[in-house]
Structure formats: structure tokens, C-alpha cells
Structure 1
Amino acid sequence: MAVVRSKRRPASQAGWSGGERAGLVLTWDGVDMRRWMDLHSAVPMAPLEQAWMYGDAIAAGSPYRPTRGVVTRDGKPVAIVQALEWSFVRAARLAKVVRGPLFLKDVTEEECVAVHRLIADRWPMPRLNWLFFTPEMIDGDFSRSVMRSLNLKQTVTGYSTAWIDLTVGADRLRAGLNQKWRNQLLAAEGEKLRIRDAHSGQALNWLLARYDAERRRRRFRAASGAFAAALAICAPRPRDVLLLQAERGSEPLAGVLFLRHGFSATYQVAYTSEAGRAANANRLLLWEGMRRLAADGVRWLDLGGVDAAMEGVSRFKLGTGAAPVTLAGTWM
């Protein structure tokens, strides 16, 4: 079926049609933040990159602007997608879809292909559009088949992350820790470190300044502290930002920043000093974060990138018992 296109409408209006395929209709920019958050929260293991605050944080520091689409069948939501779009040089546009779309219910393979096709239809290459599509699909024959059906080619291999199910309870979470990880956590608990929590302010500034210095020193391929600060500012509620510091006396030894988005959360930024590493403060903070997030109703925690190039960081994350998942990569 031909794609219906129209001029962008103000966000206050009902949105504009992105077309119809296989009985599915895609509408762009037709929901407000509250509705988007409700839909995003309905998706198990929903990544931060598809949260409303992520799009706003990107817009705060770059020429990209978020555009958000909802796919429906008979008026009922089936999937959502947040894309980042940069319009330049007259009609030319560069767009990124990062870890989307997200499905709110089970769909057939035909429907899955149709949803991805509807998204790609918005940025046809012959019309000076460049789409970088990183779908939230497990890497494999099916995901590659879907992306190739859009006439896209893989440009970056699959990103790997690890999710923790927080609903199993503290006892099972602790039992799932790697034996060495559990022993180091026990040692950290014996250090009697004081844990402080915050949502913003001086504690956040302290963490991000040290994180950025460490990132530059070790040449981590990771988001900057400035972007983490933008995410914290754009978070809809103070409780969506959880910052924990481990202290001995008045001296912070380590800090960690978690961002909550619906019933999911992301382990966003962490820093540990030499003294903090000696006291295993990083393990204590991650464990305490898991417990506090679970108590606040968070069901899944995304630990972020697992990369062979960062063996120590990856080993630390996987020591929690989380299983790595490799996604389909970026296609253009």
C-alpha cells in the first residue's frame, strides 16, 4: 500500500500518518510525554534509548530532534518507535533509530517486517535521506532477513548488553552472583562504607567530573558526562535519577548513576577510585542499586555495553549473573 505523507503537524495536534502496511498504521508525533511513558512502560526490558527523556537529552546538545511514532491495529497500540532526525541542506535528512521499535504485544513475522518497513518508509534514500537503523532485535537469521528486506546493509556489528531481572527477589539475585563477585561483595559489606543517595546537585557533579576524566584517560567509547547530566535534567521525575556514593569518613570512594524509565532502569555511569577498588565499593554500589530499584518497582536493569575490548568492565557486569544479549547491529 502506498505511504501517505503530509507536512509535520504541531505536537499538540493528533499527529500525522506515516502509512499503512499489513493492516498496521503508523502515526508520527501524535502522543504527549505522559502517553509515551505509559506505552514505553508496558514493554518488558524497554531500553533507555526509546525513553522520552533520551530524545529530549539528545535534542538539548545536538542538531537531532526526536520524532515518535505509534503503530496501531484497529486503533490499539502494537509498537512504538523513537527516531532522531537531523534536517539540513534544504530537504536532506539524517535519521537514527536506536534500539527500536518496541513491541507491546506478540506479532507475526509478517507484522514485524511491516512495522520496520513503515519506519524505513519515512526516510527513502532516493530523496536525500540517510537512515541508520539499529533495531531492538536479537542478532540472527530472522533479524538480518528483516533488515535486508528493507534494502539496508549492516554497517556496524551487533551491540551486546546484559539485563538483570529484579523481580526474582534479593535472595535469588544474590544466589545468582558469580562466587568471586559474591565474596567481594561480602568483603565490601565488611568495610562498613557509608552509602549516600542523591538525585542531582554536587554529588552528580562530583561523579560526572571523575567519570569523564577516567573515560578520557582510558579512552572508553562511552557517552560523555555532559550527556549523562542532560539525561538527569530531562528525567520526568526526581525518582527517575538514582545516584549512590560510597564514602569512608568524608571522602567519596565511588559513585554510580542509575536512570529509571518506566519499569526498567539503566546502569548509566560509574566511577571508582583506587581506594574504592581496594574496598570493592563498585560491587557494593551496584548491589545496593539493584536492591533499591527493585524496592521502587523497577523490574529490569540494563547494565549496558558488554564488549571484549573492555574485558574488566564486562567481567564485572557479567559477574552479576546477567546473561549477555547481542542485538542485530546498525544498518543503513
Structure 2
Amino acid sequence: MRCSWTLCDTPRLPEGAGLPMQQHPSYGRACGSLGAEAFRLEWREGRRTLGTAQVLARHLPLVGRVALLSRGPVWMPDIATERSEAAMAELLSALGRRHRAILVTPETADGGPFSRGGMIPAMTAAHVARLALAPELTALRARLTPGWRNALTQAERMGLRVTETGLPDDPGHWLLRAEAAQAQARRYARLPPAFALAWARNGGTLLLSVEGACGPVAGILILIHPPWATYHLAWTSPAGRRLNAHTLLLWRAIERLKEMGIEALELGLIDTERTEGIARFKLGTGAAACPLGATWLRAPGTGWVARLARLVHRASVTQQAARTLRG
């Protein structure tokens, strides 16, 4: 059964589905202000939305038009695998008619429909920390690891003053400047400060900070994309670390997001090799490590490479089976 993906300005989210930041219209608008083209598609049957996809496109020199589908499509919960795979094939075919190259990072770790569709893996799969906010606060607090809960209790006893605002339209905001300097010193990659400002102009933000005698000692910025939200950036001074200010701010954010009706908070990718301490902090909240799919690429020549890889794999399996029979 064929499905039809249609362009739409504001797709209706499939009932009961979560929504990663990369699939929210605010993300498309923010990236659009930074030079990318964003467009959205939906797959419907009657009044039901079965899937939505937000795609970013750019024209790259020597390559041509490139499409990026990140953390999508967003499917109706419990949709049959054969239906979502058929719909994914239709979507890739449609994108392929207008784009020279396609990059897809799906929510699922199942790469079957991509490996069979002439695509090759460009980046390995990863895990993201996701904290479900449906439980009551007492239950959420009980799920904190002992170390995380002790740090929170100590911070609460300090009587720290927490300020809650949205991110103002100010490129020189202290949190953006402090986090940019931190990123340069630690040499980690992240979206530019202009992205956060563009998001704030088009979507919801939650900025919490702790003030000390000489100014801010810690701050975090949350991007809100109902029904989920994303922990976007943070900074803590040495004094803030001694006060466990970051722990307090994240817990206050959890409380506030629950009041807003947000269902889940994504805390970012988990890298237990290069940033073990950060991974431990994220998972210490009780967040689950949710697997994402690898990044798949289709471009001129990748179909041939994918077919060759399958032939090599089959030959290897056949040789292994023959050795097993001989042994």
C-alpha cells in the first residue's frame, strides 16, 4: 500500500508521539534564520496523522542540494513496522528526486530500511539521556542516584537565589558568552549562540541561574518543544561547583517543566568514553539511555558501495557456515 507525503506549514503531531527538538517547527525556523531551508511533510490517512518529517536542506559547493532528516520521521506510536518502512522508502524516494545527497539519523536503531535502500552508514549510533517527567516529583526525587540526591540536598540548604526567565534577545548575554568561552577551552562542538537566540525568537526557552555576591555563578538554558524539552547549554563557575549550583538548577528546571505539562526532558548525548563524568551526571537524574539510529547517507555511488558491502557480508557468512560444517 503506497502512502503519500505532502508538504504542510504546520503538521499535526501523531497522537501520543514524542517530539525531539530536531523535529519541532521552532528548530526549523531557527535553522532557517541561520541559512538552511526547512520544510515539513506529513503522512495522513483520513483524519489520522501517521507520520511527520521536518527536513533541512542546503546547497553545498561541488555537491549540490543536500537534505538532512534528523531524529525523524515522528511516527504514530505502535505503527506496524512494515508500514513505517514502506512510508520511509516513499519519503526517501521523494527526497531523492530533489536532492543530490540525503542524510538521515532516525530515532530507531533499526537500520534495516536504510541498508536495503542503497544507503551507507556515515556515523555510528549513539544514545541520548531522556528523563520522563510523568511521575510525581516525590517519585522523581526517589529515582535520583544517592550522590545526585545528596548534592541537591546540600545545595538546597545553602539558600541559593535562583532566577528564572526566558532567554532575552541579547547576543552579549552573560550565559552565552560564558558557555562560548567554556566550549573553546574544552574544545567541544555545539550549536552556535546564534541558534539559541533564533530559537528564543520563535519558541519557548527556560533560563535559570544562581546569583552570587559578584554576579552569576551558574546558569542553564532549556529549549521547550512540547510535549518535550531539551537541556541545551549550561555553565558553572568554580564557586558554583562548590555549591552544587548546577544540580540545583537542573532540579528546579524539572519542577518548572512538570508545571508546564512537559512530558520528557532530553539531557543530550551520552559519551561514557570522553565525558564519563557528564554522562554519569545526566543518568544520575534517573534518565534512561535511549538508543538512536546511525546516520545514513545516500549520494551518487553509495548505492554501489552498499550493494558491495552486502555481497561481502554474505560471502563472509557463507564461509563461516562452511567452516562450521567442516568442523
- Which bracket does the TM-score occupy, shorter chain normalised? 0.7 to 0.9
Aligned to 1:26: 5
Paired residues in the alignment total 295
Bigger RCO of structures 1 and 2 (CA < 8 A, at least 6 apart): 2
Aligned to 2:190: 222
Q: Shift of residue 91 of structure 1?
A: 10
Q: Does 1:326 align with 2:291?
A: yes
Q: Does 1:72 align with 2:50?
A: no
Contact kept, 8 Å, 2:26 with 2:202, in 1: the verdict is yes
Q: Does 1:155 align with 2:119?
A: no
TM-score by length of 1: 0.84
- One-letter amino acid matched to 1:135: P
Aligned to 1:179: 146
RMSD after superposition: 2.1
- One-letter amino acid matched to 1:153: I
1:1-332 mapped onto 2 (5 Å cutoff): 22-28=1-7, 30-32=8-10, 36=11, 38-39=12-13, 42-62=15-35, 64-74=36-46, 76-87=48-59, 92-124=64-96, 129-137=100-108, 139=109, 143-201=110-168, 205-235=173-203, 240-249=204-213, 251-308=215-272, 309-332=274-297
- In structure 1, runs of 5+ residues without a counterpart are 1-21
Relative distance call for 1:90 and 1:212 in structure 2 (3 A) is: closer
- One-letter amino acid matched to 2:192: S
Contact kept, 8 Å, 2:175 with 2:235, in 1: the verdict is yes
Relative distance call for 1:221 and 1:91 in structure 2 (3 A) is: closer
- One-letter amino acid matched to 1:53: S
% identity of equivalent residues: 32
Relative distance call for 1:96 and 1:111 in structure 2 (3 A) is: same
Contact kept, 8 Å, 1:56 with 1:66, in 2: the verdict is yes
Aligned to 1:5: none
- In structure 2, runs of 5+ residues without a counterpart are 298-327
- One-letter amino acid matched to 1:223: L
Task: Single out whichever of 225-234 and 98-107 deviates more from structure 2.
Answer: 225-234
- Distance in 2 (CA, whole Å) between partners of 1:71 and 1:154 is 26
1:288 alignment partner, SS class = helix
Aligned to 1:4: none
Contact kept, 8 Å, 2:171 with 2:194, in 1: the verdict is no
- Distance in 1 (CA, whole Å) between partners of 2:153 and 2:250 is 13
- Distance in 2 (CA, whole Å) between partners of 1:31 and 1:60 is 16
